[in-house]
A = this chain, B = another copy of it.
């Protein structure tokens, strides 16, 4: 006997495309589709295609957009660029609501283990933007992991000769966390980078 009917099998496979979704979860998702109202399933399917058709990368900053240039690049005037790894990071910073400058999405970080060098991410585009002379500061907001740090150092090295102020987001203890649960690297970083009160 076939374990599953063919169309179910196809849908289960499709769900495994999603990050972190294995066979079991995909089965659960696929089964749930059957009990959804028809309209919801159509909405789901259409949204998938629409996103793939409409969502492009902003040709200035590399963020997601459904236009040539994204809303932020279109509407904000600023001489600060915040450099992030992924479009998702833009959203995260926007949600924090205390940054009002521009962005530059690298679409990756330098990662020699994966064979990713500076030319594989959008560093050239960053240098071009900065060379226009209208940018005063570049905040490097890549993740505080090995790849993020390497990428940050590389960007600093390349931009400093252009007389740009390059800063790195602060690293330390998370707000609302407890000291005793912080890892040693974070803790020593927090002490080394202490601020006068």
Indicate with 1 or 0, residue by residue over A1-42, a CB within 8 angstroms of chain B CB atoms.
111111110110111011110000001111111101010111
Chain B contacts for A47, CB-based, 8 A: 7, 10-11, 13-14
Taking a contact as CB atoms under 8 Å apart, the answer to whether A5 and B66 are in contact is yes
Asked, given contacts A30-B51, A36-B52, whether A3 binds B41 with beta carbons under 8 Å apart, the answer is: no
Indicate with 1 or 0, residue by residue over A46-86, a CB within 8 angstroms of chain B CB atoms.
11111110110000000011100001100100000000001
Query: Which DSSP category, helix, strand, loop or mixed, fits chain A's interface?
Result: helix
When chains A and B are docked, how far (Å) is the Cα of A123 from the Cα of B86?
A: 53
Selecting from A88-96, A126-134, A140-148, A171-179, the interface stretch reads: A88-96
Taking a contact as CB atoms under 8 Å apart, the answer to whether A50 and B94 are in contact is no
Taking a contact as CB atoms under 8 Å apart, the answer to whether A51 and B91 are in contact is no
Asked, given contacts A1-B94, A14-B43, A19-B29, whether A7 binds B72 with beta carbons under 8 Å apart, the answer is: no
Contact among B17, B66, B87 with A6 in the assembled complex (CB-CB below 8 Å): B66
Taking a contact as CB atoms under 8 Å apart, the answer to whether A52 and B30 are in contact is no
Interface centre among A18, A29, A33 (most CB of B within 10 A): A18
Taking a contact as CB atoms under 8 Å apart, the answer to whether A8 and B64 are in contact is yes
Taking a contact as CB atoms under 8 Å apart, the answer to whether B1 and A71 are in contact is yes
What are 6 A-to-B residue pairs whose CB atoms are below 8 Å? A7-B54, A10-B50, A11-B50, A18-B29, A41-B48, A44-B45
> Which residues of chain A have a CB within 8 Å of any CB of chain B?
1-8, 10-11, 13-15, 17-20, 27-34, 36, 38, 40-52, 54-55, 64-66, 71-72, 75, 86-88, 91, 94-95
